[in-house]
Structure 1
């Protein structure tokens, strides 16, 4: 394997992350990863996943993404898509690949145009919770816990296929879309994508790391405290490839080719750049410090958002997209 210059096999950040994970979950967490198979590690990662300190938990950041997509910071992308593309239609069938806890499917399922939503995910515990919520709300959703590649979905049976932070977990994205996704869509059907499209295996570019670390040094200490409430985040690191493969071997194997893969197979109806190239790594582990509703916190968050936008303008780099595409 030939490594790019912006690549780390092992980084100091890996040791720090393992140290904090052991303090939080015990040595059993580390040993469990060493004994799991590829698919079991993926399932374990997402069954046990908590999002208590990731950048998507900061309301102002999510509202900025909403505005980039729909022009309205209070309109989530599910509502935007349904209102724009489901109008005047009935009997729609939606497939969500990598549905997780089912939040996106529940938002689509409330629209009268939707007859049925099918969600599939490899993480059994998350699917179990999704089923329980759908049943409680009496929504027309079927959740499947299992490997997408082992399912026998009928060809051209779906009007919409959704990927919400899941497409980047697949290898050889262009081929995957051509051979497995496109055949399931009806002619004229829609592919809806809300996705990470940055460096493979989260191997942050040197330019990203430099800017993220510059911004980190400007933050007051109270905004740099890790989730234990004591330790300060002193540096942003590129995750090592060994850790990536150990913790979640499905994480971003071909993400940097995601946009091209979509364009190779579908007609673009709309596409928005969401950024994620600074805040993703910068706020990892410290995002919980930015959810307060006080004036100072909001001011800092808005400043971070603007600094990422400025970085995007200067470098022309972007690590996430929202898009709606059509099968012709």
Structure 2
């Protein structure tokens, strides 16, 4: 078995396992979600609804979603009334099975879910054009970004759009030395009773861990926006969050962080304020971006 095949098997196993988990991600915290949504839309409206209802503002007949997972975003789009049909694929068999079961249970008939890898997509792309193509947290798992995006371009017509909401930070989701040192200083300021068990000291996964468990995580993330700019006209681009909150949230006791007590509100507000100041003064770079691309006009 080749190294690439081994990595593909690790990625598939990782996402099969993830699809069965109900872990609390950083945006499960109400304060953090409010911060991210306000960065995107200036309101509390969910970013995907805002994007379609307030920004795109036109019906989409056929949409392709790459790396759909269990289909959470696809179900939202299917119900906006602005998307007629969605083709969606993911490498994880359990994720696709879960999405199909949900579609059947909820009577959603305008989404087609398929088990497929990005490599399969490149070698055997759909034989149709799409009005919109989406990457929602999947493009940063792609090694051949150029090949995937060139394939996407071939499936687009003049009025088509490519939409993304992606991690664009350090490769393999590793923290920069500056980010790591800032989080370590923040951690010293938080009382131990507010810290998750096992996180007395700051913990970050290293490269060896990432390559063993999910070698696709953020594999070429810093190159996403530069490559998009080369292949498409990036008509809309917005930073949505920085490197502090999504890395540090796992260290906090989640019951406390979501308790709405004065102590919890104060700590969460301060963490958000710290990230905002660091980004505003360009001490750290944002880790996430949302954007819309169009085909480049011929010269």
- Relative to the length of structure 1, the TM-score reads 0.81
1:71 and 2:42 correspond: yes
In the TM superposition, residue 232 of structure 1 has moved relative to its aligned partner by 3.5
User: RMSD value over aligned CA atoms?
Assistant: 2.0
Report if aligned partners of 1:194, 1:321 keep a CA contact under 8 Å in 2.
yes
> Residues 116 and 287 of structure 1: is their aligned pair in 2 closer, same or farther, counting only changes over 3 Å?
farther
Deviations 1:242-274 (A, max 9, x none): 211110111111101111111112222221112
1:45 and 2:14 correspond: yes
Report if aligned partners of 1:274, 1:318 keep a CA contact under 8 Å in 2.
yes
> Residues 275 and 112 of structure 1: is their aligned pair in 2 closer, same or farther, counting only changes over 3 Å?
closer
Report if aligned partners of 1:55, 1:287 keep a CA contact under 8 Å in 2.
no
Deviation larger for 308-317 or 207-216: 308-317
Any idea what SS the aligned residue of 1:293 has? Answer: coil
Aligned length: 285
Paired with 1:246 and 1:267, the residues of 2 have a C-alpha distance of 36
Paired with 1:87 and 1:280, the residues of 2 have a C-alpha distance of 31
Any idea what SS the aligned residue of 2:250 has? Answer: coil
Pairing 1:142-181 to 2, within 5 Å after superposition: 142-151=112-121, 152-154=124-126, 157-173=129-145, 175-181=146-152
Paired with 1:146 and 1:282, the residues of 2 have a C-alpha distance of 33
- Relative to the length of structure 2, the TM-score reads 0.88
Paired with 2:234 and 2:78, the residues of 1 have a C-alpha distance of 24
Residue matched to 1:291:
258
In the TM superposition, residue 313 of structure 1 has moved relative to its aligned partner by 2.1
Pairing 1:100-249 to 2, within 5 Å after superposition: 100-139=69-108, 140-151=110-121, 152-154=124-126, 157-173=129-145, 175-226=146-197, 231-237=198-204, 239-249=205-215
In the TM superposition, residue 316 of structure 1 has moved relative to its aligned partner by 4.9
1:57 and 2:24 correspond: no
Q: Structure 2: which 5+ runs fail to align?
A: none
> Residues 283 and 260 of structure 1: is their aligned pair in 2 closer, same or farther, counting only changes over 3 Å?
same
Paired with 1:200 and 1:149, the residues of 2 have a C-alpha distance of 20
In the TM superposition, residue 172 of structure 1 has moved relative to its aligned partner by 4.2
Paired with 1:216 and 1:109, the residues of 2 have a C-alpha distance of 42
Paired with 2:264 and 2:162, the residues of 1 have a C-alpha distance of 37
Report if aligned partners of 1:169, 1:253 keep a CA contact under 8 Å in 2.
yes
Report if aligned partners of 2:243, 2:286 keep a CA contact under 8 Å in 1.
yes
Deviation larger for 297-306 or 279-288: 279-288
In the TM superposition, residue 142 of structure 1 has moved relative to its aligned partner by 0.7
Report if aligned partners of 1:212, 1:236 keep a CA contact under 8 Å in 2.
no
> Residues 322 and 235 of structure 1: is their aligned pair in 2 closer, same or farther, counting only changes over 3 Å?
same
Pairing 1:298-313 to 2, within 5 Å after superposition: 298-313=265-280
Residue matched to 2:248:
282
Q: Structure 1: which 5+ runs fail to align?
A: 1-35
Any idea what SS the aligned residue of 2:237 has? Answer: strand
In the TM superposition, residue 99 of structure 1 has moved relative to its aligned partner by 0.5
